[in-house]
Structure 1
């Protein structure tokens, strides 16, 4: 399996332990395996409420902070910004083709939600990451049925990783 995670921390309000990198990579592998995906790259960025509020407002027209945003690169283009990439040569690989997309998590929201739901911050970050990943590969939760499907998939991955409530 060649699913890769690249993450960065662009907030300074909550400490992100180094060992989370391994946990997040494991979650990506488990979620990819569950979906039959063997290749791709995901970029994860930790941000604060102010930063995610601006992104949510600018890209979704929703003027409030949220917990997680996903920006899929392999989308059909509807309701997403068009990305234009020119390959200089047929011999050079397209650097975007393996990119699944970006996941942005508000660590401040994750802390509040972990306290509200009574589980660890590690579990909440894991839940939001898997949730974002499922969005990147085409899942959504616009109705009760699709939300139940996503929730079941998220919980199955978290259970396999030992991130229980």
Structure 2
């Protein structure tokens, strides 16, 4: 299995311990295995409410912060612009071909939600990460049945990783 997690931290309010990154990498492997996905890369960015608010407003037209955003690279959307990659050498691969997409998590919002739900911040970030990953690979929750399916998949992965409520 060759699922990669590339992450960065663009907020300074809450420390992101390395052990959390290890757990998120484990969640990526578990979720990928459950979905039959062996290869790909996910870019994860930790931000604050201000940062995610701007992204939510600019890309979704929703003028408020949210907990997680996902931007899939492999969508077949008809409204999407093609990304043209020029190569100088024909043996050079398209660097975006294995990129599944970006997940952005507001650590500030995750902190509030973890307190509200009565579980750890690590569990909440794990939940948001798996939720974002499922969006990257095509899942959505526009109706009750698709929401129930996503919730079931998220909880199964979190249970396997020991991130219980």
Q: TM-score range by the shorter chain?
A: over 0.9
Distance 1:147 1:78, change over 3 A: farther
Give CA deviations for 1:132-152 in whole Å, capped at 9, x if unaligned. Answer: 000000000011110000000
Unaligned 5+ runs, structure 2: none
1:55-66 pair list within 5 angstroms: 55-66=55-66
Give CA deviations for 1:43-89 in whole Å, capped at 9, x if unaligned. Answer: 00000000000000000000000000000000113454543323333
DSSP-derived class of the 2:44 partner: strand
1:24-39 pair list within 5 angstroms: 24-39=24-39
* C-alpha displacement of 1:91: 1.0
Tell me the TM-score normalized by structure 1.
0.96
Asked if 1:88 corresponds to 2:80, the answer is: no
Distance 1:19 1:58, change over 3 A: same
Aligned Cα root-mean-square deviation (Å): 1.1
Partner of 2:47: 47
Give CA deviations for 1:12-35 in whole Å, capped at 9, x if unaligned. Answer: 011111111110100000000000
In structure 1, distance between residues paired with 2:3 and 2:141: 24
DSSP-derived class of the 1:56 partner: helix
In structure 2, distance between residues paired with 1:137 and 1:89: 30
Unaligned 5+ runs, structure 1: none
